[in-house]
Amino acid sequence: MNPTTLEADSGEMAIRNEADIVLARQQVRRLTQALKFSLVDQTKMITAASELSRNTLIYGGGGEMVWKLLQQGVRSGLQLAFVDQGPGIPDLDLALKDGWTSGNGMGMGLSGSKRLVNDFQLETEPGKGTRVTITRWK
């Protein structure tokens, strides 16, 4: 199942600072290249990872990116989960609206990421944390 250039089919990386976001982006580039995603699809996944890891850092107070290579028949894909134990998201519909931000952002991170991937799952509980899981198939 593994592309030969990858030694594992899942892993996790800490998201604790801006440098970790750069590392997470690099890892997603490496994974999507190993899966032979088109350049456009590589960029979609990297952009989504960038937005979601920044949310993990800024709003979630830090956390992890958990990555997993998927295989379904002849289809291969990449799943990324951005996990934190932060305050959670009180109003999901609002958070997913284009242009809505509780901070100083553009409010396009969640809604934009959702459009860039094939599957988008958001689990959140006030006071417990947030997990955003995205999947893109080749």
What residues line the site for ligand ADP (CB under 6 A)?
A: 51, 55-56, 59-60, 84, 86-89, 95, 100-103, 105-111, 130
Beta bridge partners of 77: 70, 137
CA pair distance 3, 97, nearest whole angstrom: 37
CA pair distance 113, 19, nearest whole angstrom: 21
Cβ at position 24, least distance to ligand ADP in Å: 14
Cβ at position 36, least distance to ligand ADP in Å: 29
Q: Which does 103 bind (CB under 5 to 8 A by kind): Mg ion, ligand ADP, none?
A: ligand ADP
Beta bridge partners of 123: 131
Please tell me what DSSP assigns to residue 36: T
CA pair distance 14, 21, nearest whole angstrom: 9
Question: Which chain residues interact with Mg ion by CB under 5 A?
Answer: 55, 105, 109
Cβ at position 113, least distance to Mg ion in Å: 8
Cβ at position 123, least distance to Mg ion in Å: 17
Beta bridge partners of 110: none
In this structure, are strands 119-125 and 63-72 parallel, antiparallel, or unpaired? unpaired
Q: Which does 77 bind (CB under 5 to 8 A by kind): Mg ion, ligand ADP, none?
A: none
Q: Which does 81 bind (CB under 5 to 8 A by kind): Mg ion, ligand ADP, none?
A: none
